[in-house]
Amino acid sequence: MSPRNAIARFNALIEMCGSDYVEHPSNFKVEKELLNVGKFYLGLFLHTGYDYYLRPWEDVAPDVDVRVINWGEPDKPIFQTDDIQVTEYEGHSDKIPDVIANKIKHQGPHGKENRHLLVVIREHSGEKTYPVKIAKAVQKMKPSFRSIWLLMQSFEDDNVYRIIRISPTPQIVDIKFSIKDMAKRQKPPDFINLKRGTNNDFLSEMYTYELPLPECR
């Protein structure tokens, strides 16, 4: 599914089940992971110019929460895959390196060369996050993730986010964007059907599809 569809599905869940139920930590883990990865890749478009499609992947590989197909440019598809591990953190920013260190320590060896870590952070009023300081701390850990990013929601505007690449260094990528503006930019279809051909290339079929929402229980 497209990033904008992952966000739209989550909003539909809130309308159907209520925000308190949906946002409870024990409910809709897969949908929350798709939501956060969708937000991240909407912002990453500003850095790469590429379109992306998401699929839950934890049922296939326990160290991967979401697999992403990098479609590439509209008329030049490349079908590169990114495996994303997602972790959410809400606390003092000086503890973010500890969260990342724990993820590095417990990362499974298989497929780690293609695995990215996304740390989802909610900013608090009066508290600042210092990406350069975090990047220096992470660099000392010699992380095995292909890249490590922060996804941060502004405490001033719920629609404004930043994505910050803190590994690999020395170049830190820092992108600020509006979720609403980027979701409007993305065009349908919201789903693609991918399968491998006999020459090991991806064959694609793009279409519109209604994926049923999970039930409120």
pLDDT tens digits along 35-57: 999 999 999 999 888 888 898 87
Task: Give the range among 11-15, 28-32, 211-215 with minimum mean pLDDT.
Answer: 211-215
Separate counts of helices (H) and strands (E) for the chain = 6, 9
Residue 12 has pLDDT above 50, yes or no: yes
End-to-end alpha carbon distance in the chain: 24
Residue 204 has pLDDT above 70, yes or no: no
100 vs 72 pLDDT, higher one: 100
> CA 8 → CA 3, 124, 146, distances in Å?
9, 25, 29
Residue whose C-alpha is closest to residue 86's, from 39, 142, 144, 154: 39
CA 67 to the chain's CA centroid: 9
Q: Is residue 115 part of a domain?
A: yes
Q: How high is the pLDDT of residue 71?
A: 77
Amino acid at 143: P
Q: How high is the pLDDT of residue 61?
A: 74
Q: Is residue 108 part of a domain?
A: yes
State how far the Cα of 124 lies from the Cα of 88, in Å rounded to an integer. Answer: 14
State how far the Cα of 214 lies from the Cα of 31, in Å rounded to an integer. Answer: 9
Q: Is residue 22 part of a domain?
A: yes
Tokens of 26: 């024990």
- Please count the other Cβ atoms lying within 10 Å of the Cβ belonging to residue 148: 24
Task: Give the range among 86-100, 137-151, 182-196 with minimum mean pLDDT.
Answer: 182-196
Q: Using 50, 70 and 90 to split pLDDT, how confident is the model at 126?
A: low
Q: Is residue 181 part of a domain?
A: yes
Give the residue-averaged pLDDT of 89-104: 86
Q: How high is the pLDDT of residue 139?
A: 92
- Domain holding 148, by residue range, is 3-197
> pLDDT tens across 70-94, in order?
877 766 666 788 899 999 988 777 7
Q: Is residue 88 part of a domain?
A: yes
Q: How high is the pLDDT of residue 209?
A: 55
Q: Is residue 202 part of a domain?
A: no
Give the residue-averaged pLDDT of 179-186: 84
Say how many domains are in the chain: 1
% residues pLDDT > 70 (the chain): 82
Instruction: Indicate the burial class of 24 (C-beta count within 10 angstroms; 0-12, 13-18, 19 or more).
Output: exposed
> pLDDT tens across 104-121, in order?
888 866 666 789 999 998
User: Taking the model in full, what pTM does it have?
Assistant: 0.86
